[in-house]
A and B are shown apart, each in its own frame.
Chain A
Amino acid sequence: MNMIAPRRSRLVLVGNGMAGVRALEEILSRAPHEFAITVFGAEPHGNYNRIMLSPVLAGEKTFEAITTHPGSWYKENGIELIAGEPVAGIDREAKTVTGEFGTTRPYDVLLLATGSNPVIIPLPGHKLPGVIGFRDIADVETMLAASKSGTRAVVIGGGLLGLEAANGLARNGMDTTVLHIMPTLMERQLDPVSAGLLKADLGNRGIKVITEANTKIILGEDRVEGVQLAGGTHLPASIVVMAAGIRPNIALAKEAGLTCGRGIQVDDAMVTSDPAIYAVGECVEHRGALFGLVAPLYEMAKIVADRITKTADSDYIPAVTGTRLKVTGIDMFSAGDFMGDENTDDVVFRDAARGIHKKLVIRDDKLIGAVLYGEARDSAWYFDMIRNGTDISALRDTLVFGPSAGNSGEAAGVESLPDTAEICGCNGVSKGTILAAIGKHKLTTADQVRSRTKASASCGSCTCQVESLLALALGGDYDATPKVKPVCKCTAAGHDAVRAAILDRRLKTIPAVMDAMGWTASDGCASCRPALNYYLLCAWPGEYVDDSRSRFVNERMHANIQKDGTYSVVPRMWGGVTSSAELRAIADVVDKHQIPTVKVTGGQRIDLLGVRKEQLPDVWRDLNAAGMVSGHAYGKALRTVKTCVGSEWCRFGTQDSTAMGVALERMTWGSWTPHKTKMAVSGCPRNCAEATIKDFGVIATDAGWDLYVAGNGGIEVRVTDLLAKVTTKDEVLEYAAAFMQLYREEAWYLDRTAPWVERVGIDYVRTRLSDAGGRKLLQARFMDSQRFAQDDPWADRAAGADAHEFSTLASVE
């Protein structure tokens, strides 16, 4: 007889964010098999590094790069993830939680980590579309979309979050104004002098700041059109970001009858007023204090893990935190009591010409606060003194010059820090811990240090110091240059960097990109020019003028060159369906132009081979006259959509695969892609259209349609991965458009979908496309670019375009 294993305790986490998931990691490291874990998350994907939303908005990072826990992480750890369903109620009697869509799970231990919500000031007009907070990836996508259609943005609130939002919007080309109600920016982190320097630095980046601004009304009819200030000033805006603070998200806890103040009240063991329920993160109130940075939350995660797994009776003790602004090029740090009072002394250093201001606040021979602006490389050194209450009387004269003062010439650096000095403030990782990990595990890259110790895994501002520690530990063996694959030998820049620069710096011609990125050869080469031409076309649809001189011959001639210099012509046959009229027209064209070979292709259409260059426009004109257009058999573009007969005729077919294929081809034809793109639709799982080796494959089932991506034939055959299961035709089209656009926007030129997906991971693609909001935005961008792409290139040329391509310059006898 089978033994029945003792039932595992059931742990439910509500809130799939930074604090909650960190707590799970801590729990798993202490007791990997003790709990059956379920996670409810309101957001429709795995956990990501929320801090890094600012660099995503600024175009410096992708969402994929900041995803810390993809779906596979939950799977590997045996955790049930219910993403996209917020918990609506807790029944403390029955010990169950129930989600908005009715999913119910019992718990023995419940952990709340619901974070906080942006404060939306209830001004008139605050509910208009286009008024948003800055909290999650959906907000970032809204801002990015706004920057594509509108030109002006207003950010209400000049704190950390507001300024990072403003910087991101400005980097996306928006004319951005920050409205701040106080007289100086970031008054909770900066003294007035450094706040003034910051304002000037932002001004240099084109960000306007209005302080003492009292916003009265948000204007607009159907969506936001601007804001009006108390003085009557009117600022037009197509998007208004409210960054006026955050408020713990306590609705669920309150409703369940847990004791709440401004946050969910917890004791030093992170237990709420119900002993079976714990809480961590920004949703809690601990000894009257609220939280807004990750460092204390990660500390809480350790305590709650100790307590839940009963491994230690540790208590949460609040500690000083430090802040940095994540705006590339602005170096600042602030910690502790940086304003001081009548019992403190200030030590101030200023170098106005270099825009540097440092202020140290000292009480009883101890450093209690610091603001460093313009140069913050010694922040770890000062922060260590603040946290440890070091006696600084002996150092006082030179303290403001940093650790290297006195031994001038020596570079100030990590070597002068004590082993206890905290390098990574977010994750509380000290210099000693990092050096020990480098030694013990033979680490050689910053990435390895990150995955071992978590140092630099959150806000990333200590990456430089981690690299210095590697250099210190490994000496000459450390090579900090990141291993990116350059676009070609004309540049050191990688594909992602080039694509980001095109968008960020609004580069709109090939020479502009080459100039901006320091190309070594003035007109590039046959590798980079086609890549840049594609990247520009993708970035600026309808605006960029295609450079035919940067196209490979087939795309320039709109036909495939053959080994003898003649061309082949493949007209589109929508979904592989043709008619007697089309076949008759093709036969006539073959006879009239004496085309030597006619062949049925592997892509379910007909190839006319051996057409001479000068014959092409005439052949096309005749095909056009019979209603046929280019099949793009020559392009890094949408090629064929193969179909099987499907439910119309086939005795096994479950859906009309032929009609679906035709619809897909009608939607996607004409679009240029990083490499060729092929689709197929099969009417049942027998899969006669070979949909599982296509870039986008669709297989009909009784219930609807299974969508597959990233397959190909060729030398290295790759079978597709399942992307999603959907029920309606519209959903198939929506996913197809969104997938195409994600591929178009993010893959490197000449990567088919298979190598691209292998590189970024199928989970990344699933995450991006499972989010309905994000998917619709991608679809919208795809459809927008199709408005400019669905012109038959053959018709243009049959009508006389690019005539010089098809005729000789002269004949000499």
Chain B
Amino acid sequence: MDSHISVWTDVGHLNDIPRLGSRVVTTPAIDIALFRTADDRVFALHDMCPHKAGKLSQGIIHGESVTCPLHNWVIGLPDGKAKEPEEGCARTVPVRLENGRILLAVGGA
């Protein structure tokens, strides 16, 4: 088990992210990319492509995927997995919406 304990942190409102857009939350260790789909669901991944660390937050979002801006890998938003034929995985971060506020499982307590 991961010994690191996270808490839900309010990082902003759903409307701060454009539909089919992305914003970044910085932490001391890593950057986290938040994605908003066409039907207003929000996903969070480490902002690092499993290929060569491209910033996924700068990609094009479609359906439940984001296409990396550097070499066009397609990464699944719910699981961070690269789509066939590529192999690799971006780390997911738990995120939920409550009354339009975005709560992200980051930061220690």
Q: A525-B67, A549-B19, A563-B70 are in contact. Are A809 and B24 (CB under 8 A)?
A: yes
Closest residue to A564 on the B side, CB-wise? B53
User: Is the CB–CB distance between A529 and B60 below 8 Å?
Assistant: yes
- With A and B bound together, what is the CA distance between A553 and B22 in angstroms? 11
Given contacts A561-B70, A565-B55, A812 and B107 within 8 Å (CB-CB): yes
Q: With A and B bound together, what is the CA distance between A529 and B19 in angstroms?
A: 14
Within 8 A of A (CB), among B1-38: 9, 11-12, 16-21, 23-28, 31, 34, 38
Give, as a whole number of angstroms, the nearest-CB distance from A181 to chain B.
55
- Would A550 and B60 be within 8 Å (CB), given that A563-B70, A804-B16 are in contact? yes
A813 at the interface (CB under 8 A from B): yes
Shortest beta-carbon distance from A621 to chain B in Å = 22
Looking at the complex, which of A25-33, A366-374, A460-468, A516-524 is the stretch in contact with chain B?
A: A516-524
Question: With A523-B63, A526-B62 as given contacts, are A808 and B25 in contact (CB-CB < 8 Å)?
Answer: yes
Q: Considering the chains assembled together, what is the distance between the CA atoms of A565 and B52 in angstroms?
A: 11
Instruction: Contacts A525-B67, A808-B24 given; indicate if A561 touches B58 (C-beta within 8 A).
Output: yes
Q: Which of B19, B25, B38 contacts A811 (CB 8 A)?
A: B25
Question: What per-residue 1/0 map shows which CB atoms of B42-82 lie under 8 Å from chain A?
Answer: 00000000001111001111110001011010100000000
Is the CB of A557 closer than 8 A to any CB of chain B?
yes
Interface residue tally on A, bucketed by range: 20 to 34
State whether A529 touches B62 (Cβ < 8 A): yes
The interface size of chain B toward A, counting residues with CB under 8 Å, comes to 36
- Give CA–CA (A628, B18) in the complex, Å: 30
Residues of A within 8 A of B54 (CB): 565
A contact residues around B31 at 8 Å (CB): 808
B106 CB–A CB distance under 8 Å:
yes
**Considering the chains assembled together, what is the distance between the CA atoms of A242 and B48 in angstroms?**
65
Which A residues from 557 to 578 make CB contacts under 8 A with B? 557, 561, 563, 565
Residues 784-813 of chain A, each 1 if its beta carbon lies under 8 Å from chain B, else 0: 000000000000000000001000111111
Within the complex, the shortest CB–CB distance from B69 to chain A, in Å, comes to 4
Whether the Cβ atoms of B62 and A525 lie closer than 8 Å is: yes
Greatest chain B CB density within 10 A among A563, A811, A812 is at A812
Given A523-B62, A549-B20, A549-B60, decide whether A812 and B69 contact each other with a Cβ distance below 8 A.
Answer: no
CB pair B107–A552 under 8 Å, yes or no, is no
Could you say which residues of chain A place their CB within 8 Å of the CB of B55?
Answer: 561, 565
B21 contacts A549, CB within 8 Å?
Answer: yes
Tell me the smallest distance from the CB of A416 to a CB of chain B, in Å.
50
Q: Complex Cα distance A522/B19, Å?
A: 14
**Docked pose: A557 CA to B69 CA in angstroms:** 12
**Does the CB pair A521–B69 fall under 8 Å?**
no
List the B side residues contacting A551 at CB < 8 Å. Answer: 60
Distance, CA A810 to CA B69, complexed state (A): 22
- With contact pairs A563-B52, A810-B11 given, residues A549 and B61 touching in the complex (Cβ less than 8 Å): yes
B59 pairs with A809, CB closer than 8 A: no
* Chain B positions within 8 Å of A524 at CB level: 62
Which residues in A have their C-beta under 8 angstroms from that of B72?
526
Query: Are B23's CB and A523's CB within 8 A?
Result: no
Question: Are the CB atoms of A812 and B61 closer together than 8 Å?
Answer: no
Q: Determine whether the beta carbon of B16 is less than 8 Å from that of A809.
A: yes
Q: Are A552 and B60 in contact (CB under 8 A)?
A: yes
* B105–chain A nearest beta-carbon distance, Å: 10
Could you tell me if B58 and A813 are in contact, using CB atoms closer than 8 angstroms? Answer: no
Complex Cα distance A580/B78, Å? 53
Residue of A nearest to B107 (CB): A812
What are 27 inter-chain pairs, A to B, with CB distance below 8 A? A521-B63, A522-B38, A524-B62, A525-B60, A525-B67, A526-B62, A529-B62, A548-B18, A549-B20, A549-B61, A550-B60, A552-B69, A553-B60, A563-B70, A565-B54, A565-B58, A804-B18, A804-B23, A808-B24, A808-B25, A809-B23, A809-B24, A809-B25, A811-B26, A811-B27, A812-B25, A812-B106
**Additional 16 contacts, C-beta under 8 A, given A549-B20, A551-B60, A554-B69:** A521-B62, A526-B72, A549-B19, A561-B55, A563-B70, A804-B17, A804-B21, A804-B23, A808-B24, A809-B11, A809-B23, A809-B24, A811-B25, A811-B27, A812-B11, A812-B26
A interface residues, Cβ below 8 angstroms from B: 521-526, 529-530, 548-554, 556-557, 561, 563, 565, 804, 808-813
